[in-house]
Chains A and B, each alone.
Chain A
Amino acid sequence: MSLMQIDPGVILWTLIIFVIVVILLRKIAWKPILNMLDAREKNIREAVEKADRVQVEAEKALAEQKELSEKQRQEAAEFMQKAKEDAKRMGDEMVEKARREAQEATERARRQIEEERVKAVESVRTHAVDLALDAAAHLLSKKLDDTTNRVIVSDYIDKLPDNLKQRH
């Protein structure tokens, strides 16, 4: 019963027990745990890489989106500008056209009035000549040197429109 006594039996027992434990634990616990640790590390590495990749993609997408919306905004502004210009031009054209048409109508009306007037003057003149001839014939059928008759003719002529007077 000494402290430093070497006991071959105990050494053998220790070796047997220890070797069994080494083999069993290696199989049951350490290998699965180590494999799982590797899997976890791989998992984490991949997750980090994926997160990085996703972030880069998201930033790219955001930039694209911004660019796109900017473009669209610009396009919309251009479209609005163009529409405004178009509307203004069309309005101007319409006003111009209306003005022209009104002018034409006025012109036409004036011409028509002029024609009517000329026609009327013509007709009046014709009638006047007829009347004068009638009056002349009437007077001639009575007496011409009579002063009263002169007055009558003179008055008649006075009653005629001015331009008729000038012509005669």
Chain B
Amino acid sequence: MGQQVGQMILHHIVNGPEMELPWVTDLTHTVHLPHIPAFEVLGIVIDMSITRHVVMMLLAAFLLILMALFVRRKIALVPRGFTSMVESFVLFIRDDVAKATMGAEAARRYTPYLCTTFFFILTCNLLGLIPYGATATSNVSVTAALALMSFFMIQGAGMRKMGVFGYFGHLIPPGVPFWLAPVMFVVELMGVFAKPFALCIRLFANMVAGHVVILSLIGLVFVMNIWVFPVAVGFGVFMYLLELFVALLQAYIFTMLTSLFIGLLVVGEH
């Protein structure tokens, strides 16, 4: 039984070519998503099939564009309702994330990107908490892609600020003895890749963890006894609420760290 529960948990978290939908009158409520034949580029097999997480991301993108179109019509000097909520997030990202880490001038350039990062991750996180939904951000490929985008933004910002040569020059901190320079270069270069790697793993792990805990609590009912359900459901609800908070927190952390890494290169006293 424990084995089956483990399979069930894994099945719920990982990506897959089918989705469960409430209005599909099949016994399993399952719908199979379109399969696109894989192709090979530079020895890498790329399977662009629409999977569960891709659907959730498309849904998130669709919702965000819908939100943007709605907000755009309601922009006013005196904000109201939903627009003022979106606005307060934008204001927070601009003032307390971007300006705080990279100064007012650079903040103007990178705030739109940071806003999108925040809202996209937040939406993906929250969609994972809806029944029948799946958490795209609990897929390491998705978080890797997002971290890759951050990586490009961070390095692009650095090169924009210091020039391509200046950028590579900053990898050797000033004042380092010449015999130490190669070592420092390697260490700094590792740091360059470690930052987005950490972003990727942090988001992925956090989103997986919450779901694993909730599903494990529910799994207790099947593994142990039906009568543990009050405890399981009680803790499950608690974890769900915690997940709501984590969804927001991780979106914020991802955005904040991206901004901070950009700031380190843009403000750079090197």
Contacts and interface: CB of A to CB of B under 8 A. Distances in A.
B140 A4 contact: yes
Contact of A30 (B45, B47, B116, B142): B116
A11 B148 contact: yes
A20 B77 CA distance: 28
Given A12-B46, A18-B149, A29-B72, A6 B144 contact: yes
Interface stretch (A34-42, A82-90, A130-138, A146-154): A34-42
**Chain A contact surface mostly:** helix
Contacts of B14: 1-3, 5
Contact of B116 (A12, A21, A32): A21
Most buried by B among A6, A9, A24: A9
Nearest to B48: A9
Q: Number of contact residues on B: which range applies? A: 35 or more
Contacts of B71: 29, 33
B120 interface: yes
B8 interface: no
Contacts of A13: 48, 54, 57
A31 B112 CA distance: 7
Most buried by A among B11, B71, B141: B141
A18 B87 contact: no
A3 B143 CA distance: 13
A33 B86 contact: yes
Contacts of A155: none
A11 B48 contact: no
B13 interface: yes
B64 interface: yes
Given A2-B14, A5-B140, A8-B45, A14 B65 contact: no
B111 interface: yes
A76 to B, nearest CB: 51
Contacts of B113: 22, 26
A37 B141 CA distance: 36
A34 B90 contact: yes
Given A7-B15, A18-B145, A30 B57 contact: no
A5 B13 CA distance: 12
B111 A29 contact: no
Contacts of B142: 10-11, 14
A25 B112 contact: yes
B94 A37 contact: yes
Given A5-B140, A7-B15, A15-B149, A26 B65 contact: no
B91 interface: yes
B61 interface: yes
Interface in B43-89: 44-49, 51, 53-54, 57-58, 60-61, 64-65, 67-69, 71-72, 75-77, 86-87
A3 B75 contact: no
Contact of B64 (A10, A21, A37): A21
Interface of B: 10-11, 13-16, 38, 44-49, 51, 53-54, 57-58, 60-61, 64-65, 67-69, 71-72, 75-77, 86-87, 90-91, 94, 108, 111-113, 115-116, 119-120, 136, 139-142, 144-146, 148-149, 208
